[in-house]
């Protein structure tokens, strides 16, 4: 790990040694190393890593093949009988350097969107965040933008669940649109208690000390 002080001629741990250390100490040391490296702010954004004074980040997901171990198969799941276990990984990355900023691991059958929701706290001011159309929902868009990041997310063409109005057709044929809440999203909005109806009021006579109702 860059920036970690080590003595000269310290040997680099081998893969088997690292695996044995993981077996002895669990995932805590590896998680701490990842979080320490991901939190570093002293690394330049890299070529094409900024736009409009903001650092470009992106949300993306993938799967990783694991060893053919019954415990791993039970923990993460398999795509088909006889196949190796797979875990699903969704990360928030620095676009210019491809460095990790945050990551969430789940089972193979876990949805990418559910895992992406856990990246909300890693999104914040100073970021211009990109995401493919599979990650878009109005609810998620509102929550991530509320964290302070600027969002540039793709939206599925003609998605009925996302009402929109075309504002402008751009030179490359893409459209700038204004999105509205869907019917299902409005239905999930908490209902306000009904306001009791006003009862008729009588204006007190002029000069009377009585106050109006």
Q: What is the DSSP string of 91-147?
A: EEEETTT--EEEEEEEETTS-HHHHHGGGGGG--TTEEEEE-GGG--HHHHHHHHHT
Under DSSP, is residue 30 helix (H, G, I), strand (E, B) or coil?
A: helix
pLDDT of 56 above 90: yes
Under DSSP, is residue 68 helix (H, G, I), strand (E, B) or coil?
A: coil
In the chain, DSSP finds a helix count (H) and a strand count (E) of 6, 8
Tell how strand 150-153 and strand 127-131 pair up: parallel
Alpha helical stretches, state H, the chain: 15-25, 28-38, 70-76, 112-116, 138-146, 183-188
Q: What percent of the chain has pLDDT over 70?
A: 80
What's this model's pTM, rounded to 2 decimal places? 0.70
Which pLDDT score is estimated for 96?
92
Q: If you average pLDDT over residues 46-54, what whole number do you get?
A: 91
pLDDT band, very low/low/confident/very high, at 91 (cuts 50, 70, 90): very high
Out of 2-6, 86-90, 99-103, least confident range: 2-6
Structural Rg of the chain based on CA atoms = 26
Counting every residue written for the chain, the total comes to 213
Distance, CA of 103 to CA of 126 (rounded, Å): 19
pLDDT band, very low/low/confident/very high, at 16 (cuts 50, 70, 90): confident
């Amino acid at each position: 790990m860059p920036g970690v002080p080590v003595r000269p001629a310290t040997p680099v741990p081998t893969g088997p040694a690292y695996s044995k250390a993981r077996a002895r100490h669990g995932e805590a040391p590896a998680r701490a190393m990842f979080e320490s490296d991901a939190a570093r702010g002293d690394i330049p954004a890299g070529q094409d890593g900024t736009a409009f004074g903001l650092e470009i980040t992106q949300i993306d997901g993938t799967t990783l093949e694991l060893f053919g171990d019954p415990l791993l198969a039970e923990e993460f799941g398999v795509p088909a009988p006889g196949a190796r276990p797979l875990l699903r990984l969704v990360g928030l990355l620095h676009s210019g350097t491809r460095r990790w900023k945050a990551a969430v691991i789940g089972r193979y059958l876990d949805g990418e969107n559910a895992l992406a929701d856990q990246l909300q706290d890693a999104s914040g001011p100073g970021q211009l965040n990109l995401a493919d159309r599979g990650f878009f929902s109005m609810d998620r868009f509102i929550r991530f933008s509320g964290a302070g990041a600027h969002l540039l997310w793709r939206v599925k063409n003609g998605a009925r669940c996302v009402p929109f109005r075309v504002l402008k057709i751009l030179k490359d044929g893409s459209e700038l649109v204004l999105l509205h809440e869907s019917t299902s999203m409005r239905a999930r909005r908490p209902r306000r208690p009904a306001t009791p109806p006003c009862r008729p009021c009588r204006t007190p006579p002029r000069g009377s000390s009585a106050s109006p109702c």
